[in-house]
Amino acid sequence: MKGIILAGGTGSRLFPNTIAVSKQLLPIYDKPLIYYPLSVLMLAEIREILIISTEKDLPHYQQLLQDGSSLGLSLHYAAQKTPRGLADAFLVGEDFISQDSVCLVLGDNVFYGQNLSLLLQNAKKNIENGGAAVFGCMVRDPREFGVVEFDEQNRVISIEEKPRCPKSNYAVPGLYLYDNQVVRIAKQVQPSARGEIEITSVNNEYRKNGRLTVTLMGRGISWLDTGSPKGMHKASGFVKTVQEMQGFYIACIEEIAWRKGFISTEQLRRLGEQLSMTDYGKYILSIAEEGVK
């Protein structure tokens, strides 16, 4: 399975912060926002990843993450010339996806939880024989998201994009897994009234064919949307609180690479030394010194 991080768009809801800087390069507490979706793909043991952004912003992502080899990854980059909806990621990334299945994560979504890695591995297994796997997360006001409706047997009846009157409080977060048919399906999606190739249309196509799995995220998984200043602040506060209370860092991509066996302890130590003037770097070095996964 390959991974795609969609980090395009103008970030207009965060103006003036994002007039000159891509939203996913802004900090969530002590690290760039893009580290968080990248860490999700790494936890799913996906090592070949495409980052999609604007032509203007791609060089900054390449400067930050380079080719990914220092993390045991293979990173690729592609430009989205015009924001055309989430499902456009499969058209931009068609050559990258090739004959593989794919996991798409939105660049402004933050996920955290003890069982997150297991949840991702199970979702990958769910589509081994084809189909799609998405998630449902309980939220107070789901009107800004895709919303899942279930019947009494917990079967998916519908998924609606940003409904005025939601039929449930289960929103679909920005994390999706698909078989290789997703490229063909995305090509057939007609733009919505907003002029976008909606990801909900792709999900509904899988649902109609009985090939969509929806897994509910329980209380142990936190999902934070950072599309507004309030969301950015909330996410930063959450990360700060968890890290100070638990002593473990969220979305430390160097640590994840090491724990997953992508890099050696010596490689981890070298990465920590490059950042040794920061608490983040000192944390990496402390993990390397312990040397116990």
pLDDT digits (tens, 9 = 90+) for 64-121: 999 999 999 999 999 998 888 899 999 999 999 999 999 999 999 999 998 899 999 9
For the stretch 178-221, pLDDT in tens is 999 999 999 999 888 777 888 989 999 999 988 998 888 877 88
Sorted by where each starts, the structural domains of the chain and their CATH numbers stand as 2-262 (3.90.550.10), 264-293 (no CATH)
Helix (H) or strand (E) holding 280: helix 279-290
Ramachandran quadrant class, 232 (left: phi over 0; alpha: psi -120 to 50; beta: rest): alpha
Question: pLDDT category, 155, cuts 50, 70, 90?
Answer: confident
Locate 201 and state its tokens: 């249309």
Question: pLDDT category, 292, cuts 50, 70, 90?
Answer: low
DSSP per-residue string spanning 51-92 = EEE-TTTHHHHHHHHTTSGGGT-EEEEEE-SS---TTHHHHH
Phi, psi (rounded to 5 degrees) for 191 = -55, 145
Residue 154 has pLDDT above 80, yes or no: no
Residue written as token pair 């203007």: 56
Distance CA 183, CA 87 (A): 9
How much is the pLDDT for 161?
82
R_g of the chain, CA atoms, integer Å: 19
Distance CA 124, CA 16 (A): 39
The answer to whether 77 and 51 are in contact (CB under 8 A) is yes
